[in-house]
A and B are shown apart, each in its own frame.
Chain A
Amino acid sequence: SQKIEQNSEALNIQEGKTATLTCNYTNYSPAYLQWYRQDPGRGPVFLLLIRENEKEKRKERLKVTFDTTLKQSLFHITASQPADSATYLCALVYNFNKFYFGSGTKLNVKP
């Protein structure tokens, strides 16, 4: 089965800095990869999608890259704010139907 690795240690950064989160996977590359945000006690919320033939995607302060050679996606939040503090999950999607989620990385943005 697919193995997805996200840093289990929390990422602590200062407000205003860029946060970079990593999602690594084994086996074959997915059709596309998604990033979700999850706040405590709530369900995940979709943020961004990037397809296997795309290198980079941007949405406001968010940027996602996808390197199928390295089998890695990076998720960046620029000019981070305390309100960005949450757990971020990556999801690999195969055949447009099978979703595999990582365990998430907790981001703490300190004022």
Chain B
Amino acid sequence: DADVTQTPRNRITKTGKRIMLECSQTKGHDRMYWYRQDPGLGLRLIYYSFDVKDINKGEISDGYSVSRQAQAKFSLSLESAIPNQTALYFCATRSTKGPDNEQFFGPGTRLTVL
């Protein structure tokens, strides 16, 4: 089973709808991240969380909110989706114990807002 899972994998929605993207991990990592990826812009950080009670805004948090329901679950919400939120969304986790501080990414959610 994958260590970091994201649901749904693909979603098409309409402008103004509320959308929730979910992320679960079995790695036992305390740190979790949400990114969006757009062609030519790379990965941009939306929100990150160091533990259940510690949530921080990233580079582009406007229009998004998050919830860390448990150490293993971190969800991203778009309260009122707009077309320029069409992108590929990635969840990632990170442990502070390893030597390389690498992030482990989920498979991504492709979101299209019409």
Query: Contact: A49 with B42, CB < 8 Å?
Result: no
Interface residues on A, range: 20 to 34
Query: Contact: B101 with A49, CB < 8 Å?
Result: yes
Number of interface residues of B (CB under 8 A): 25
In the bound complex, CA of A74 to CA of B92 (Å) = 25
Query: Contact: B100 with A1, CB < 8 Å?
Result: no
Query: Contact: A99 with B103, CB < 8 Å?
Result: yes
Q: Name B's interface SS.
A: strand
**Of B14-22, B67-75, B79-87, B104-112, the one with at least 4 CB within 8 A of chain A:** B104-112
Q: Which of B4, B40, B43, B102 sits near A101, CB closer than 8 Å?
A: B43
Q: Answer yes or no: B47 CB below 8 A from chain A CBs.
A: no
Q: Which of B50, B59, B101, B105 sits near A93, CB closer than 8 Å?
A: B101
Q: Answer yes or no: A73 CB below 8 A from chain B CBs.
A: no
B-side contacts of A42, CB under 8 Å: 107-108
**Nearest CB of chain B from residue A36's CB, rounded to whole Å:** 8
- Give residues in B with beta carbon < 8 Å to A: 4, 33, 35, 40-45, 48, 50, 59, 90, 92, 96, 99-108
